[in-house]
Chain A
Amino acid sequence: MKRLSSIFALTILLFVSCGKKESSGDDFSKPTTETPSSEPSSTETSSAATDAEKYDPHRGEGKYDKVDLGAKLDQAMATEGEKAAGVKCTSCHKLTDEKLVGPGWKDVTTRRKPEWIMNFITNPDPMIDKDPAVQAQLEICLVRMPNQGLSDAEARNILEYMRKNDGVK
């Protein structure tokens, strides 16, 4: 009995000391303002890493749940996408199936769901850590795809350019 109560007391102590730390406000590792979506924060990455079992390899991880593609190609978007890719992507990716620094883009839109592509190109780090296909790719390329700070519009335009590359008319 005596023993039990001392364990109980110890538990309270532990609990209290934990609680105290929480409320002290000394943890500066959490941003006080919302991180804009274009800037992935390391805290996002690490909290996401804890629920790896929830990872959906078809959708990937990021803010895109559903991406609607037109039946036909949006030529204007594809043109904008080509420009953005010229600045941020094609240093490392060829349009063919040939690997440069990263894999070639040929047929990427038939191999991957649009949500997956949008999530990966805007939020690569957690997916490189979790996605089995990306991990397999990393063993070949050995370079983690950098986060190129794509805006939502840039990412969507690049996806359209990838579709054009895959023959969508």
Chain B
Amino acid sequence: MKNKFIQSIFVIAVGSMLFTSCKPKDSGDAVSGDAAQKAYVAPGKYDEFYNFVSGGFSGQLSVYGLPSGRLFRVIPVFSVDPEKGWGYSEETKPMLNTSHGFVPWDDLHHTEMSQTNGEVDGRWVFANANNTPRIARVDLKTFKTAEIIELPNVGGNHSSPFITENTEYVVAGTRFSVPGDYVDGDVPINTYKQNFKGHISFVKVGKEGEMDLAFQIVTPGVNFDLSHAGKGKSHGWMFFSCYNTEQANTLLEVNASQKDKDFIMAVNWKKAEEYVKAGKAKKQSVKYVHNKWDEKTHTATSETKNEVLVLDATALKDICYMIPCPKSPHGCDVDPTGEYIVGSGKLAALIPVFSFDKLQSAITNKQFDGDYSGISVVKYEAALHGEVKKPGLGPLHTEFDAKGNAYTSMFVSSEVVKWDIKSLKVLDRVPTYYSVGHLCVPGGDSKKPFGKYMIAYNKITKDRYLPTGPELAQSAQIYDISGDKMRLILDFPTIGEPHYAQAAPADLIRNNGQYKFYKIAENNHPFAAKGEKEAKVVRQGNKVHVYMTSIRSHFAPDNIEGIKMGDEVYFHITNLEQDWDVPHGFSIKGANNAELLIMPGETTTLKWVPDRVGIFPMYCTDFCSALHQEMSGYVRVSPAGSSVPLTWSVGTNQPKI
């Protein structure tokens, strides 16, 4: 009897052990009692961190607070955004220009914050466009996309943008190797092995953030997945994970997972820089555009460039080395000391950790295992620090804390595993809901992680939120990592599909000279109206320029007559407010682009081509005061050739009646 009792307890205990080690079915299972308190930020209080999250297929960048998970802003980057007039106003249209013309959408996968001495400095966030390869720089003084540069010779700019420890370069690797733009691309697709090449791009970043495509390195055709820069002792090196080293061009899910090991490519970029200086790079003719936002004229310009310098990795033997890495590696992450490089093979059942010191001595002692299409392959064991055994299924990406721990996301087994970088021992594991992609620890890819929180960005959300049709918002989850055990404290929904994210202490951003409004005296927009007395309407042939002002709660002018069919009307609206958080909107009936949202002190232009004769109301779209509904006006459109004179007014009826 007693024995039976003990036995049954034993069975229950074992049973519950098994149960807890499985993925909890109930959404509340992993949450402990005081989780809400840890994520709670009282109304009126500020969050501790800003979290900059990629929007994936939405093409935008979202800004959340940590630990509250509150959404603060969606910054339009690579996709048009009617809410803010991004890509619709005349000033912003050039930002989405490419060598293929105006491209209204892209797939934004990774964000990377600028660093100084390997520490997050709060100046800029860089982001990649995957589809039509581009890199953007978002200025954190204005939370606005300040610059976009296109990358030639690239297909699928996935392995991007990753930065060196003083933001010397933003680096990008091609996901799809393709024939270079400077060669004849009209080749049979099944000649991948001969004709397809990889290009990795080094974009120089200037003092004010301005980007310049300094050089590219041409490599054998593979798929580059992710990358990270060396730091500290490994500063001067960059590491890229490569898959499809089989060089297949069809049914990659089978044909690109043949080999037991793919590669991490180590690039000595300081050496590459020397070769460029020594004139070893070839000038290739290509076509790409570089778009810049001018903060004083509130206007973007787009410039086409025609040349790039290309270094050949197979000809210059000491800039690139391949390190074998099991199997289809995704993440390629460097720990805060710069010594350890973590490869995460999506299809591997272990996590290999390489040592920078061992890699260096392997190169010095030529411990090679032959070459891969002309690039030396370092012996696996010679570069290996060790393997994390049985970490889970589908290791994807690793971030670090300040205490020597690594956190790896497991896509297939939907969990995050914490392990010790030196001993490679697994310390803890927590479930995610579900199919986790990237992780973010504030400062987690820098020399100085802030730790405290770890955020998991998940691909699947089912069972977490109320059903909303066939699709649900993707989700992120915040874990408290201040103690020995990771603890889930909050789920929050995201825009698009989140990939990589970065986070920094709030004070670093908000005390970094952040703009609250644009000073009207510094507004150099060529069509600015600084004060109502400058409001006017000017006809130039069939183009009509309206210099309009807005302030709570009227436009000047608010009555315009004498517009004719066949005219192109440009409403240049200057928001005269000098108080922050008071934008005004502008819309007019029949406008077939969008509305405008004009920040205090800013000038923005909406082009409008009237399609019929009549009276067209215009109004402010952003509720700005108790008299917001009164913030409106009329435009009269007359037939072509009509004799109605061009007049405008505010506060008077013209002609007087």
Contacts and interface: CB of A to CB of B under 8 A. Distances in A.
Interface in A51-93: 86-88, 90-92
Interface stretch (B181-189, B429-437, B515-523): B515-523
A29 B41 CA distance: 11
A101 B552 contact: yes
Interface in A133-154: 142-144, 146-150
Contact of B45 (A28, A100, A101, A143): A28
Contacts of A86: 531-533
B579 A91 contact: no
A42 B290 CA distance: 40
A148 B576 CA distance: 8
A87 B520 contact: yes
Interface stretch (A5-13, A31-39, A112-120): A31-39
Given A91-B576, A92-B551, A143 B506 contact: no
Contacts of B552: 92, 101, 143-144, 146
A77 B83 CA distance: 42
A32 B507 contact: yes
A27 interface: yes
Interface string B501-540: 0000011001100001101110000000011110000000
A154 B167 CA distance: 40
Contacts of B517: 149
A148 B626 CA distance: 18
B401 interface: no
A22 interface: no
B555 to A, nearest CB: 10
Nearest to B577: A146
A45 to B, nearest CB: 12
Contacts of A44: none
Interface residues of B, number: 33
A106 to B, nearest CB: 17
A128 to B, nearest CB: 12
A119 to B, nearest CB: 16
Contacts of A144: 552, 625
Contacts of B334: none
A86 B46 CA distance: 37
B627 interface: yes
A31 B511 contact: yes
B626 A29 contact: no
Given A28-B506, A142-B626, A146-B579, A91 B531 contact: yes
Nearest to A144: B625
Interface string B534-575: 000000000000000101111010000000000000000000
B335 interface: no
B531 A101 contact: no
Interface residue tally on A, bucketed by range:
20 to 34
Interface in B44-58: 44-48
Nearest to B530: A87
A101 B510 CA distance: 34
A146 to B, nearest CB: 4
A8 B616 CA distance: 72
B578 interface: yes
B45 A27 contact: yes
A26 B67 CA distance: 11
B531 A90 contact: yes
Contacts of B531: 86-88, 90-91
A87 B533 CA distance: 8
A101 B530 contact: no
B578 A148 contact: yes
Contacts of A92: 551-552
A149 B627 contact: no
Contacts of B506: 28
Contact of A29 (B46, B549, B625): B46
A154 B20 CA distance: 68
Interface in A86-134: 86-88, 90-92, 100-101
B519 A28 contact: no
B578 A146 contact: yes
B532 A143 contact: no
B554 to A, nearest CB: 7
Contacts of B489: none
Contacts of A28: 45-48, 506-507
Contacts of B46: 27-29
B140 interface: no
Contacts of B579: 146-149
Contacts of B45: 27-29
Contacts of B578: 88, 146-150
Contacts of B627: 101, 142-143
A146 B582 contact: yes
Contacts of B533: 86, 90
A142 to B, nearest CB: 4
Nearest to B507: A32
Most buried by A among B48, B516, B552, B651: B552
B270 to A, nearest CB: 37
A143 B48 contact: no
Contacts of A100: 651
Among B530, B549, B551, B553, the most chain A Cβ lie within 10 Å of the Cβ of B551
Contacts of A149: 517, 519, 578-579
Contact of B551 (A91, A142, A147): A91
A143 B582 CA distance: 13
Contact of A143 (B521, B576, B626): B626
A148 B507 CA distance: 26
A26 B625 contact: no
B577 A29 contact: no
Contact of A91 (B521, B556, B625): B556
A27 B44 CA distance: 10
13 contacts: A27-B45, A28-B506, A32-B507, A39-B516, A86-B531, A87-B521, A91-B532, A101-B554, A142-B625, A142-B627, A146-B577, A146-B579, A146-B582
Interface of B: 44-48, 506-507, 510-511, 516-517, 519-521, 530-533, 549, 551-554, 556, 576-579, 582, 625-627, 651
Interface of A: 26-29, 31-33, 39, 86-88, 90-92, 100-101, 142-144, 146-150
The 10 A-B residue pairs whose C-beta atoms are closest, nearest first, are A149-B578, A28-B46, A87-B531, A147-B579, A148-B578, A86-B531, A146-B579, A142-B626, A91-B532, A91-B551
Given A31-B511, A144-B625, 12 more contacts: A28-B46, A86-B532, A88-B520, A91-B556, A92-B552, A101-B552, A101-B553, A101-B554, A142-B625, A143-B552, A143-B625, A148-B579
